[in-house]
Amino acid sequence: MDPNFLSLLVHPIYKTPLQFEQTSGELVDKAHNDNFAIKENVPLLLTAVEEVALTQTEQHKEAGSTFHYKEHYQHDAETYDYFKETKNPIESEEHNRLHQYILSEIPANASWILDTGCGGGWLAGALKNKNKNVISMDISDINPIKATKNNPYPTHFGLVADVYELPIKDASIDCIVASEIIEHVSDPKRFLNALFTALKPGGKIIVTTPYNEHILESLCIHCNHLTPHNAHLHSFTEASIQKFLPVGLKNYRTAVFNNKVLVRLGIQRLFSFLPLGIYKGLDKLSNAVTKKRSYRLMLVIEK
């Protein structure tokens, strides 16, 4: 195992150092006599623990059910292929601009970048040959393993972990990307606090999420409870996301982008040739005219 990557990893609960055991091929915490498997070169630093508070969102309380999120997102990755590209050209261009916005925020001098909820691993692919150390992290084992196989370069690492039990040394990551994740988590405040703890002084967190989404629900044919589409538990605006920020944080900003009119009418696709800087101006103008009717909200936190 790469020693630089290993030096960042800690026990997900106790935050004690881990060592690679050559004979067993496992990561070992000798202080607590605990060990973790490595599957296809990807450490599985996920415990079986789920705090009750994290399984009882408002939606689940109303339904009288619980949200076993670790199990849910393992099944999610088994059911949905996050590596399959959409065949819808309008949706594809919307995703393309989303990725461009994120990449434009990554500091040029960032050495270690954590992709939280890596999904199809697009970020690792985009940063190949950019002299960056990229960690593709997901709560399922399927996505990080496939992401590292699809982008097999020496500074790309996979990690299976839970943000609530983040197995990464405090103040060790230069840049953290959480794209389209925060709307899925049961406790957004705790989610952001965990990321902030892992961030180096001077580092940056980039969060994107659907903007002011009207979350639709359907009656589940399995449990007969109302189920939010896409497992979205929260909807955010510039104002509402602020209540989840780490206490005392002042160095942050929000922005909305990917205007719905540009996207739905196919105008965004027509202007796909425009450099991001020029497109941002067009997008901003469209938001001003249509009163911020956009698909995406971005939150940037700097430590």
Non-local (6+) Cβ contacts of 287 within 8 A are 256, 257, 259, 293, 294
**H helix count then E strand count, the chain:** 10, 14
Q: What is the pLDDT of residues 66-121, one digit of tens each?
A: 899 999 999 999 999 999 999 999 999 999 999 999 999 999 999 999 999 999 99
Q: What is the pLDDT of residues 223-266, one digit of tens each?
A: 888 899 999 999 999 999 999 999 989 999 999 999 999 999 99
**Residue 160, pLDDT above cutoff 90:** yes
- The reported pLDDT for the residue numbered 254 is 97
- The reported pLDDT for the residue numbered 256 is 96
Comparing CA positions, the residue from 178, 303, 299, 201 lying closest to residue 251 is: 303
- The reported pLDDT for the residue numbered 58 is 86
**Residue 292, pLDDT above cutoff 90:** no
Q: Which domain holds residue 109?
A: 3-302
CATH of the domain at 267: 3.40.50.150
**Residue 63, pLDDT above cutoff 90:** no
3-state secondary structure of 39: strand
- Confidence category of residue 50, pLDDT binned at 50, 70, 90: confident
DSSP assignment of 160-196: E--GGG--B-TT-EEEEEEES-GGG-S-HHHHHHHHH
**Number of structural domains, the chain?**
1
Q: Which amino acid is at 202?
A: G
Q: What is the pLDDT of residues 15-28, one digit of tens each?
A: 999 999 999 999 99
**Residue 56, pLDDT above cutoff 90:** no
- The reported pLDDT for the residue numbered 62 is 85
Structure tokens belonging to residue 222:
């399995």
- Do 55 and 68 form a contact (C-beta atoms < 8 A)? yes
In this prediction, residues 27-46 reach a mean pLDDT of: 96
Q: Given the DSSP bridges, would you call strands 112-116 and 173-179 parallel, antiparallel or unpaired?
A: parallel
- The reported pLDDT for the residue numbered 191 is 97
Non-local (6+) Cβ contacts of 88 within 8 A are none
pTM of the complete model:
0.96
Q: What is the pLDDT of residues 112-135, one digit of tens each?
A: 999 999 999 999 999 999 999 999
- Confidence category of residue 220, pLDDT binned at 50, 70, 90: confident
